Chain A
Amino acid sequence: MTCGGAVRLWLNIPVTAWTGAALLSLGVAALAIGLKLVLGLNGENMATLVLLQISAVLALAIFSGNSGIVSFGHSAFMGVGAYTAGLLTMAAAAQKTALPTLPAWLAGHETGLLVALAATAVVGAVVGVISGLPLSRLSTGSAAIGTLAFLIIIHVSLVGARDFTRGSQTFYGVPRLTTLWVALAAAILMIFAARLFRETRLGLALRASRENEVAAAAIGINMRQSRFLAWVASITCATLIGALYGHYLGAFSPKDFYFDLIFTFIAMLIVGGLFSVSGAVAGVLMLALVIQLLREAEAGVDLGFATLPQIFGLPQLGLGLALLLTIWTRPNGLSGLGELRLASLTRRPDEVAPKPLTLQAQTTPTKQSLAVRDVTVRFGGLTALDHITFDVPMGQVTGLIGPNGAGKTTLINVICGQQRPTSGSVTLGGQALSALPAHRVAAAGLARTFQNIRLFDRLTALENVVVAAQGAGRSRTEAEGIAMAELARMGLAARWNERAEAFAYGDRRRLEIARALALAPAFLLLDEPAAGMNPAETDRLIETLERLKAERDLGILVVEHDMRLIMRLSDRMVVLNKGQKIAEGSPDAVRSDPLVIEAYIGTKRHHNDQLES
């Protein structure tokens, strides 16, 4: 996609991400080489460690930063990598004395670092798959504890597998192959991997589900699958970095990969910024310095006139306080949500009208309808919906109204696959929506907005819409064009690069509609689209929807309390009361229906009488 002659995407990833990563790499490399030049061997050692810490924190960020689930397990997975690679590269003679009971098939390989890393990557991927399968099934809160269970399981296994690891004794004789240059290469690779991963289809989908699980499912994101894939990638990276860390240390034991290590990494990631790769790097640099200073102060400091006492665990205390202060004062970390980028390269994508998808969705016949058939929902003794049947025809606007408690929300949840009906079904083009998991409903051709707006708050307006278009099977380039076109339709094109959380109420509603339209749905469900809008905004919304109806082959179901909007917009109306359908027909017919008048005005008069008496 070009704009003003400049390239916006390269390999389907924004150029700003590439240049940002390159800039960050340059900075880190300059710092590392500077340390070596100024401080000599000591500086080289320090720089190597910091580069490895950067790499490890970024491996953690690939999963935690994008999914929002903090992993406590990564240090242990690094341990797996360190022991695996160490067994392979160790000199045969040293191995005989250190590990006399090592099985023969593992002994005496004396491979080079690259071969060992390749083997470690395989082990890492396998371990990642095994741990990822249960983890991706857990809810967000439980998943964090799940990673804690992995930390313990792996730690206990490393201590227990004495034949391979010498148990809790020091595992020694690993050649120190991780030089400054190796660590620098690793850090640069990880900077690019982590920064670019954020922008991939998977990374963007995961960030969307981090911001709002329900909305992510509604645009077709399979959160479990996204979490699983990101976890496997992140764990594979972590074991590789662990292998390098092992070859930096030379001698280590299981406790080197336990709580203290992951605590350090988490503190670095959070202080710098969980949601930003640049932030994570800054956090490592800052806290590495703090740890270094505190470690020197740990033995007590002589101030000349007084001596500070020796404080055991001072670095830990410092990290704890840094973590606490960051969460209190800057919950998104010191860097906030921003990424390092060259502002002059930030280009606005062109608007492109969507080409029909060759894959799915739009190939369905146009004269189908969304059919609600005999739907009943009971919650215990309460019948929320009682044998409801109606159609939402293609090319028309169907209005759904009813007083509070009529069952509108329950009906919407049934249609969108969030609530299984007790009996009956909802079908679209022969597919039973009511039997699909929530994330498959979008692909079947139904998009929706929410009564309590659900946006991806910490994503930009463009990203909010792009993630939906990608969910419908578009490439990033196509998705950006479609997203800009939908943003322009809703009057938001000028604010494409602002984060959704900065938008005012009416704009948020419009952004949500743009996101739903980017799915290129056959049917659109709008849940109280005018709630909280002022009359001028409502008028503009009505105009936009009327234009939409004329432009696209689209069936719309609107649930609304605003009578002016629904009477003007609807071709047909369905009225619910106390779980039953009491009327269906043209707006005029419904308006004069005595049952409807009683449900709305009758009860109100009754209510007023009560108030007056």
Chain B
Amino acid sequence: MMDIILQQVLNAISLGGIYALLALGLAVVFSIVGLINFAHGELMTVAGYVLFLGVLFALPLPFAVLLAIGAAALAAVLTERLAFRPMRKADATSLLLTSFAVSAILRVLFQNGISARPKPVPLPSALSGTVNLGPVHLGAVPLASIVVTVLSLVTLNLFLKRTTMGQAMRAAAEDFQVLRLMGIKANRVIAVAFGLSGALAGISAVLWVAQRGSVDPLMGFIPVLKAFVAAVIGGLGSLPGAVAGGFVLGISEVLFQAFLPEAALPFRDAFVLSVVIAILIWRPEGLIPAKTARRS
């Protein structure tokens, strides 16, 4: 019994962590360029396939993982360069639709270029086993996932607080004009924001694949939909909000999964999203609203 409860708590935190990383990636980009990036899920898919290829060619796992994360970051920077930079002056709706189109195009390319069917990604057996802490047996993947999430969040926090680029990004999120005053090139900040968001998508993809064991062209679709919702609950464009929203969403999913009666289980997502809507009625700006400079 103890095992089951602890395992559920662990699952909740690890799922929440993945949503948090994804929502954070969305929030980093949104806070700076005002783009809600639909193509974020395709960045996950890129990382998934690179990981698949790495494992296929028997690269050492850490190397394959780094390669996958790097590929997602690179893909993010490339989409910015090719699709979003021509739109720098556009309003939020046009940006959203651009990413919507980019996402649809990439999905078709994956389906034709690689395969419409899922590809298995065999991971080392150490990851599929359980960890025994005294009398309690816990899944290795959720544990590892929590560790990776925490490390990523700490590193990101250090980057944003301690480096010049990180500070520039935080300043730009509140008021983009500040960049000019700081003498920092806007294009570089935006490129770094996209790269960072891609890397976060890559990390989440690796964790996601580790739990599912396969990749397919649509793998990023569902988790990123959830991440959108998480970013909105937290407060669109707010980084602490994205993390909070991710955990709220992940934890409520696992709780509903565990405690809903059998007959209601197919409606789990509807229940979860109803909770989300209740939160938004209570706080329309999100749990931790973003700070932005307002000029009259």
Contact = CB atoms under 8 A, between A and B. Distances in A.
Contacts of A320: 101-102, 104-105, 108
B87 A327 contact: yes
A69 B284 contact: no
**Majority secondary structure of chain A interface residues (helix, strand, loop or mixed):** helix
Contacts of A145: 36, 228-229, 231-232, 236
A327 B90 CA distance: 9
B100 A323 contact: yes
A142 B93 contact: no
B108 to A, nearest CB: 4
Contacts of A162: 266
A139 interface: yes
Contacts of A313: 107-108, 111-112
Interface residues of B, number: 46
Nearest to A317: B108
Given A137-B284, A149-B229, A312-B108, A324 B36 contact: no
B86 A149 contact: no
A283 interface: no
Interface in A196-247: 214
Nearest to A329: B86
A149 B225 CA distance: 8
B87 A142 contact: no
B281 interface: yes
A189 interface: no
B273 interface: yes
Nearest to A322: B101
B286 to A, nearest CB: 7
B177 interface: no
Contact of A312 (B112, B231, B281, B285): B112
B93 A68 contact: yes
Contacts of B225: 148, 152
A409 B293 CA distance: 14
Interface in B246-296: 266-270, 273-274, 276-277, 280-281, 284-286, 295-296
B296 A141 contact: no
A316 interface: yes
B136 interface: no
B102 A149 contact: no
A483 interface: no
A263 B276 CA distance: 24
Given A70-B97, A145-B231, A156-B268, 4 more contacts: A142-B284, A149-B276, A157-B267, A331-B94
Top 7 nearest A-B pairs (CB, nearest first) are A160-B266, A320-B104, A323-B101, A313-B108, A320-B105, A324-B101, A317-B108
Interface of B: 30, 34, 36, 83, 86-87, 90, 92-94, 96-98, 100-102, 104-105, 107-109, 111-112, 116, 225, 228-229, 231-232, 236, 266-270, 273-274, 276-277, 280-281, 284-286, 295-296
6 contacts: A141-B36, A146-B232, A316-B108, A320-B104, A323-B104, A327-B97
